């Protein structure tokens, strides 16, 4: 009897598949001619159970989507992990990630870690992103504050973690599945961030869901798109843009722009608008290259 599962990692010639609530060590059928690189974590497969935890992969099902970094298939959502402190949140990077995740058609959940390092319960930035429609969670991997809520969000989904080095992604994963330790790093005192302790890609089974850790990064190029498309990833512009004088308004140098008016009335966060203009220039520069 074939059972359906999800490939969680390839390692030393074996493929590990999560199916029926357990991990199977799988090999490929002899007649099964699929190149190694055709499999990535997240791929849905049909396996034939053998002795013990051994099985063979009989078929790979079609992918719904796949990400390049991390290289995972059939992803439902991304946890964008930033620390409230050490290192300070890089909102430019967050806004870039929101665009990348939105363009890939994934749900973005913003998670601020290290809540134990600050006394402020409320952060105006968090409220702003919430008002934009994103889920924003505050957690501490030290006191476990907010961890249950994160756990709930992973149920039934394939989730990838993304965010700068040292923001606490691996620590968060450790809190979600306390039995299997991920390597976490020490934040360098000099630069205030971690040292890229996470390398390989693997989906980790946690109660009811699968999560991929990712090495941290600090720069991120925007995906290719037309200049008009960029504003779709700034949902807070939506209600103003119909009031701009020009239908094609890019909210940059055009006169009678309702988005800029909203900015001047502090209804739009100045850092968001600043990033929008910076990203717009990048998108336009990219357009000209093609
Ligand atoms: N106080 C406090 N420290 C934390 C918290 N989460 C993580 N840390 C610390 O922050 C450092 C970096 O954590 P990691 O989990 O390795 O960060 P990472 O995002 O996986 O980093 P990379 O793998 O380099 O991308 C470690 O020293 C953790 O102990 C938290 O909620 N509170
Ligand atoms: Mg890590
Ligand atoms: Zn405008």
Instruction: Identify whether residues 101 and 161 lie together within a single domain.
Output: yes
Q: Which of 81, 138, 171, 195 to mutate to test the pocket of ligand 1 (most atoms within 8 A of CB)?
A: 171
The per-residue pLDDT of the chain, averaged, comes to 90
Instruction: Identify whether residues 134 and 172 lie together within a single domain.
Output: yes
Q: How far apart are the C-alpha atoms of 183 and 56, rounded to whole Å?
A: 30
Instruction: Identify whether residues 82 and 178 lie together within a single domain.
Output: yes
Instruction: Identify whether residues 234 and 198 lie together within a single domain.
Output: no
The answer to whether residue 184 is domain-embedded is: yes
The answer to whether residue 140 is domain-embedded is: yes
Query: How remote is the CA of residue 105 from the centroid of ligand 3, in Å?
Result: 25
Exposed, middle or buried by CB within 10 Å (0-12, 13-18, 19+), for 6? buried
- Percent of the chain beyond pLDDT 90? 74
Mean pLDDT computed over 89-98 = 97
**CATH classification of the domain holding 31:** 2.40.50.140
Looking at residue 207, what is its pLDDT? 83
The answer to whether residue 278 is domain-embedded is: yes
Query: How remote is the CA of residue 261 from the centroid of ligand 3, in Å?
Result: 9
The answer to whether residue 160 is domain-embedded is: yes
Instruction: Identify whether residues 106 and 175 lie together within a single domain.
Output: yes
Q: Which residues contact 41 (CB under 8 A, 6 or more apart)?
A: 7, 8, 9, 10, 71, 72, 73, 201, 202, 203, 212
Ligand nearest to the CA of 163: 1
Instruction: Identify whether residues 34 and 153 lie together within a single domain.
Output: no
Instruction: Identify whether residues 187 and 99 lie together within a single domain.
Output: yes
Q: Is the CB of 184 under 6 A from ligand 1?
A: yes
Instruction: Identify whether residues 126 and 88 lie together within a single domain.
Output: yes
pLDDT band at 36 (very low <50, low <70, confident <90, very high): low
Q: Is the CB of 161 under 6 A from ligand 1?
A: no
The answer to whether residue 49 is domain-embedded is: yes
Query: How remote is the CA of residue 58 from the centroid of ligand 2, in Å?
Result: 33
Q: Is the CB of 251 under 6 A from ligand 1?
A: no
What is the number of domains present in the chain? 3
Q: Which residue, by CA, sits nearest to atom 6 of ligand 1?
A: 168
Domain C-terminal end among 34, 60, 86: 60
Instruction: Identify whether residues 197 and 90 lie together within a single domain.
Output: yes
The answer to whether residue 223 is domain-embedded is: no
pLDDT in tens, 98-147: 999 999 999 999 999 999 999 887 899 999 999 999 999 999 999 999 99
The answer to whether residue 113 is domain-embedded is: yes
Mean pLDDT computed over 45-73 = 92
Domain that holds residue 253: 230-289
Instruction: Identify whether residues 182 and 207 lie together within a single domain.
Output: yes
pLDDT in tens, 198-246: 456 889 999 889 999 888 888 888 999 999 999 999 999 999 999 999 9
Looking at residue 9, what is its pLDDT? 92
Domain C-terminal end among 151, 184, 212: 212
Instruction: Identify whether residues 235 and 180 lie together within a single domain.
Output: no
Q: Is the CB of 215 under 6 A from ligand 1?
A: yes
**CATH classification of the domain holding 99:** 3.40.50.300
For the ranges 18-22, 38-42, 181-185, which has the lowest average pLDDT?
181-185
pLDDT in tens, 177-200: 866 656 565 554 444 445 445 456
**CATH classification of the domain holding 274:** 1.10.40.50
Domain C-terminal end among 177, 212, 247: 212
Neighbouring C-alpha atoms within 13 Å toward the C-beta of 265 = 8
The answer to whether residue 70 is domain-embedded is: no
DSSP 8-state assignment for residue 51 = S
Instruction: Identify whether residues 162 and 273 lie together within a single domain.
Output: no
DSSP 8-state assignment for residue 252 = S
The single residue listed with the structure tokens 């990838």 is 160
Check whether 14 has a pLDDT greater than 90.
Answer: no
């Amino acid at each position: 009897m074939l059972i359906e599962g999800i490939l969680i990692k390839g390692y030393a010639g074996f493929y590990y598949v999560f199916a029926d609530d357990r991990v199977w060590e799988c090999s490929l059928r002899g007649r099964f001619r699929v190149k190694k690189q055709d499999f990535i974590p997240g791929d849905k497969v049909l396996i034939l159970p053998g002795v013990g935890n051994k099985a063979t992969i009989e078929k790979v099902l079609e992918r719904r989507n796949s990400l390049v970094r991390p290289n995972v298939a059939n992803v439902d959502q991304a946890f964008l992990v930033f620390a409230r402190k050490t290192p300070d949140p890089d909102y430019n990077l967050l806004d870039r990630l929101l665009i990348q995740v939105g363009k890939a058609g994934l749900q973005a959940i913003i998670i601020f870690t290290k809540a134990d390092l600050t006394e402020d319960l409320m952060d105006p930035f968090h409220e702003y992103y919430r008002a934009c429609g994103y889920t924003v969670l505050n957690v501490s991997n030290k006191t476990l504050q907010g961890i249950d809520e994160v756990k709930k969000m992973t149920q039934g989904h394939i989730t990838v973690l993304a965010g700068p080095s040292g923001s606490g992604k691996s620590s968060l994963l450790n809190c979600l599945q306390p039995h299997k330790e991920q390597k976490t790093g020490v934040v360098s005192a000099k630069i205030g961030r971690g040292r890229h302790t996470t390398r390989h890609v693997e989906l980790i089974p946690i109660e009811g869901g699968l999560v991929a850790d990712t090495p941290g990064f600090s720069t991120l190029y925007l995906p290719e798109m037309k200049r008009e498309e960029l504003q779709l990833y700034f949902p807070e512009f939506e209600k103003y843009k119909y009031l701009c004088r020009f239908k094609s308004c890019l909210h940059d140098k055009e006169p009678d722009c309702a988005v800029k008016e909203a900015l001047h009335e502090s209804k739009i966060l100045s850092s968001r608008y600043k990033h929008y203009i910076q990203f717009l220039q990048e998108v336009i520069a990219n357009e000209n290259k093609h």
